[in-house]
Chain A
């Protein structure tokens, strides 16, 4: 008799331990913010878009932050999501040119998807050279949003330098800035910046990057980070 009771207790114990929690999100959704396939650089983790999933009670967006090279990555459950670009986030407009269009995306298994947007400007043909401890950056700015009702003025362009490859207006060692009013032509802009002497002591390379601030937009547009050997 006692044996049965012991057996029963054991059974109960095992039954009580049944796994009842949900699986963790296991699907990776990644991709890039692009314009016609060209990636768009932003400040690291400061620009986001929202994913909304309905049907699970509380409606709360999942904010997906974008890396400085335009990449993003989110760990999700499989399912259908609505994607929304919040008003004023990022140096770009939604691809359609106006806000409020949410697109539906279905995620089953890990997948990669680039998000097309309409940037106000594109930084192109950016070249960096180093001579006499001065970085010279030349680049071209192509105006993409032409509609005068939507277009934004350039308030300033900057060249940033750092010993780290995380580089933007808030994270840099030295910077040089040219006000938008002093830009003579968008076809050829040149910025120069002196590398601090102390970096020659400790470093064999540094990083540089061009940034463009637009009037009335929080988030700046950036070129890709480049590594420059000293």
Chain B
């Protein structure tokens, strides 16, 4: 019996040993899918595409952290004096003098601090597009859509590059090294800035009819997204052509930076045409679901995912691992769900520019004509009759979030001018005036140099998620990051029409956006000026990643951020001017009157304050109009030429 067992065993071993080596070495892998397998199935191609969507370049990714875009990187929005960064590690945002030539930089895949230069992404997109002919097995409609989506993403990547560095090499095929020792055939010089914009616009024009002309899936490319990007890109190119000559030092003789002024009209025409085509689709509209409260209505634009205004967004989903912490980072202390929040505090610089509802500009009325502080019964009265977008964008003292009224005041002031304040949020001390305990500082702040409470007297509301749990580390939020929305397209159309000399059309688009913000008197065509256009974008699109690139393309960034110190008078003057100085974050602190038994007890007064962490004035140099191309990129490809003034 034993013998038989041995024989069987030996036989088995011998039989196995004689199996062909070729079979053993060429087994199909069971843990990865190979390229030709992927291209047989529509679902598999879609998952490749999902990865490509995930790498879409958003706003400014900064080098001081890992690549974390938009809503996951609140501090980036404090870079340019729209807001104060109330977190000790981010005070540096207010202590730099000269903007780095690399800005907006990021750590690239090869661990180098550089501006956005992602040819890894572009190569993967090119590879996807080159596989068009491999995907014959899937339905033709799917294939057309996928290819158009990849070309949309490639156009987006080139647009983001040209926005930052000017002309870049346009590579549309898959570059592969042949290991010959001579890589020079892979080295391409920079295209002209206008050529890159033309490439982007032509690609978008070519794919717009291959994508769905509806708003069913806003996290994927659609005809609307294509047209919105087209109008924005054409507008950027147009304004660089028109205003570029005001800064001759930013132009390179080969056209790698700068666009000839003669091309401006054609680009403005394209911007207007694309915007009008989107408007005529009748798929998108301004959000007006909460028309009884226009500030709430404006705030809802960003968190209500059923908004007809959203055109293309980066989506998040609770319990999926893909959530964002904007609300966690920025919750007011009165409604916070963790021991943190209040990081992004809008500046008085921004708050002051919101108009009165009669279309006039006025600084917050904080003093009487005799110079004494003006007293208010309710702190919100100071901002009464203002553009509804103010309270849709900013939580002002006395406003509520998640049903909790904010408690923002810096101290108590006696009629004699003596000020009591505290070093802790909501501190209570017994005062000599009446021998009773008083709360001397708000639960939300402001306390100078105390992080995680407001330090400007304001808190951010835009993109804040009012749902329960959005401020918890373990839950966070699924509010999405809107890349394109209808109001921006209307403003694009208004700007393009204005620059083309058609002020009546411009006023028509501008007034649609303004009516939604509560303005009842329309602007007349004669009232439309460049300053008006700039102003409308500043207030409508604050904290949406437009400020830096808009100021750049209008070529006024070096005037607004001129490196000179701002005074308390500067922050409330020239409110309607596009070139208004904006180099330091100023605060507006509310105080309560302490006058026990007196008529004025408990009334509110306000003071303009410079937070002590704002030590330097920001300066944007001519060399910042085009970000620096990292030296290792130039070393690898000597055909790349440097940007000017660096």
The residues of A with any CB-CB pair to B shorter than 8 Å are 46, 58-61, 86-89, 169-170, 216-218
CB–CB A218/B623 < 8 A: yes
Stretch at the interface among B73-81, B117-125, B287-295, B613-621: B613-621
Contacting A at CB under 8 A, from B621-646, are: 621-623, 631-632, 635, 642, 644-646
Q: Is the CB of A88 within 8 A of B645?
A: yes
Complex formed: what's the CA distance from A87 to B565 in Å? Answer: 27
Among A61, A87, A218, which residue has the most Cβ atoms of chain B within 10 A? Answer: A218
B249–A59 contact, CB under 8 A?
A: no
Specify which of B97, B249, B616, B617 is in contact with A88 (CB 8 Å cutoff).
B249
Name the residue on A nearest B562 (C-beta): A169
- Is A217 touching B249 in the complex (CB atoms < 8 A)? yes
Chain A residues in 8 Å Cβ range of B98 = 46
- For the complex formed, measure the closest distance between the CB of B562 and the CB atoms of chain A, giving whole angstroms: 9
* A155–chain B nearest beta-carbon distance, Å: 11
| A58 engages B632 (CB within 8 Å) | yes
Q: Would you give the 0/1 interface string for B552-574, flagging 1 where the beta carbon is closer than 8 Å to chain A?
A: 00000010000111000000000
Nearest neighbor of A170 in chain B, beta-carbon distance: B563
Q: Can you give 23 contacting A-B residue pairs, CB < 8 Å?
A: A59-B635, A60-B631, A60-B632, A61-B631, A86-B645, A86-B646, A87-B644, A87-B645, A88-B249, A88-B622, A88-B644, A88-B645, A89-B646, A170-B97, A170-B564, A170-B616, A170-B619, A216-B247, A216-B622, A218-B558, A218-B621, A218-B622, A218-B645
Give which listed residue, A86, A89, A169, contacts B564 with CB less than 8 A: A169
Which residue among B247, B565, B632 has the maximum number of chain A CB atoms within 10 Å of its CB?
B565
B interface, CB within 8 angstroms of A: 97-98, 247-249, 558, 563-565, 616-617, 619, 621-623, 631-632, 635, 642, 644-646
* B617 A170 Cβ-Cβ under 8 A: yes
In the bound assembly, the distance between CA atoms of A174 and B564 in angstroms comes to: 11
Q: How far is the CA of A58 from the CA of B632 in the complex (A)?
A: 8
Q: Nearest CB to that of A175 among chain B residues?
A: B564
With a cutoff of 8 Å between Cβ atoms, the chain B residues found around residue A58 in the complex are 632, 635
Q: Inside 8 A of A89's CB, which chain B residues have their CB?
A: 645-646
Pairwise interchain contact A216-B635, C-beta atoms closer than 8 A: no
Shortest 6 CB-CB distances between A and B: which pairs? A88-B645, A218-B621, A216-B249, A218-B622, A170-B563, A59-B635
Given contacts A61-B631, A87-B642, A169-B563, 19 further A-B contacts (CB under 8 A): A46-B98, A59-B631, A86-B642, A86-B645, A86-B646, A87-B644, A88-B644, A89-B646, A169-B564, A170-B97, A170-B564, A170-B617, A170-B619, A216-B247, A216-B249, A218-B249, A218-B621, A218-B623, A218-B645
Cα–Cα, bound, A170→B632 (Å): 32
Question: In the docked arrangement, what's the CA distance between A161 and B185, Å?
Answer: 57
Q: B631 to A216, Cβ gap below 8 A?
A: no
Alpha-carbon gap, A170 to B621, bound state (A): 13
* A174 CA / B623 CA spacing, docked (Å): 27
Least CB distance from B112 to A in Å reads: 11
Q: Which residues of chain A are within 8 angstroms of B642 by Cβ–Cβ distance?
A: 86-87
- Taking the closest CB of chain B, its distance from the CB of A220, in whole angstroms, is 10
B582 to chain A, nearest CB (A): 15
Shortest B611–chain A CB gap in Å is: 19
- Which chain A residues border B635 with CB–CB below 8 Å? 58-59
Please name the residue on chain B nearest to A213 by beta carbon. B562
Inside 8 A of B645's CB, which chain A residues have their CB?
86-89, 218
Q: Which residues of A contact B97 (CB under 8 A)?
A: 170
| Distance to closest chain A CB from B583 (angstroms) | 9
CB of B247 within 8 A of CB of A88, answer no
**Chain B residues in 8 Å Cβ range of A86:** 642, 645-646
Q: Which residue of B lies closest to A171 (CB)?
A: B97
> Given the complex of chains A and B, what is the CA–CA distance between A46 and B621 in angstroms?
11
CB of A98, distance to nearest CB on chain B (Å): 12
Nearest CB in chain B to that of A88: its residue:
B645
> Please, how many angstroms separate the alpha-carbon atoms of A46 and B249 in the complex?
18
A216 with B644, Cβ < 8 A, contacts A88-B623, A170-B619 known: no
User: Whole-angstrom distance between the alpha carbons of A60 and B645 in the complex?
Assistant: 17
Chain A hits for B644, CB < 8 A: 87-88
The residue in chain B whose Cβ has the minimal distance to the Cβ of A87 is B644
Query: Residues of A contacting B622 with CB < 8 Å?
Result: 88, 216-218
Residue in chain A with minimal CB distance to B583: A170
Kindly name the residue among A61, A216, A217 whose own CB sees the greatest number of chain B CB atoms within 10 A: A216
State A169–B616 Cα separation when bound (angstroms): 12
B residues within 8 A CB of A59? Answer: 631, 635
B98 to chain A minimum Cβ distance, whole angstroms, is 7
How far is A170 from B642 in the complex, measured between Cα atoms in Å?
Answer: 27
In the complex, A88→B646 CA distance in Å? Answer: 7
A60 to B631, CA, bound (A): 6
Question: What residues of B have a CB within 8 angstroms of the CB of A88 in the complex?
Answer: 249, 622-623, 644-646
Q: How far is the CB of B637 from chain A (nearest CB, A)?
A: 12
CA distance A217 to B565 in the complex (A): 20
Please, how many angstroms separate the alpha-carbon atoms of A217 and B97 in the complex?
A: 17
Nearest chain A residue, comparing its CB with the CB of B619:
A170
Q: How far is the CB of A82 from chain B (nearest CB, A)?
A: 14
- Which residues of the other chain, B, contact A217 by a CB distance below 8 angstroms? 249, 622
Residue on A nearest B249 in the bound complex, by CB: A216
In the complex, A223→B97 CA distance in Å? Answer: 21
- Residues of A contacting B565 in the complex (Cβ-Cβ under 8 angstroms): 170
Measured between beta carbons, the chain A residues less than 8 angstroms from B619 are 170
In the complex, what residues of B have CB within 8 A of residue A170's CB?
Answer: 97, 563-565, 616-617, 619
Q: Could you tell me the distance in whole angstroms from the C-beta of B635 to the nearest C-beta in chain A?
A: 5
Contacts of A169 in B (CB 8 A): 563-564
Instruction: Give the complex CA separation of A89 and B622 in angstroms.
Output: 10
CB distance from A117 to the nearest CB of B (A): 16
Report whether B248 and A216 are in contact in the complex, using a CB–CB cutoff of 8 Å: yes
Specify which chain A residues have a CB less than 8 angstroms from the CB of B617 in the assembled complex: 170
Determine the chain B residues whose CB is within 8 A of the CB of A46 once the complex forms: 98
Q: How far is the CB of A49 from chain B (nearest CB, A)?
A: 12
Bound-complex Cα distance A89 to B646 (A): 7
Q: Across the two chains, which residue of chain B brings its CB closest to A61?
A: B631
Q: Which A residue sits closest to B622, measured CB to CB? A: A218
Residues of A within 8 A of B247 (CB): 216
A61 to B642, CA, bound (A): 13
Distance of A86 Cα from B646 Cα, bound (Å) = 6
Inter-chain CA distance A89–B621, complex, in Å, is: 11
The residue among A46, A58, A88 with the most chain B CB atoms within 10 A of its own CB is: A88
Enumerate chain A residues within 8 angstroms of B646, measured Cβ to Cβ.
86, 88-89
* Chain B residues within an 8 Å CB radius of A218: 249, 558, 621-623, 645
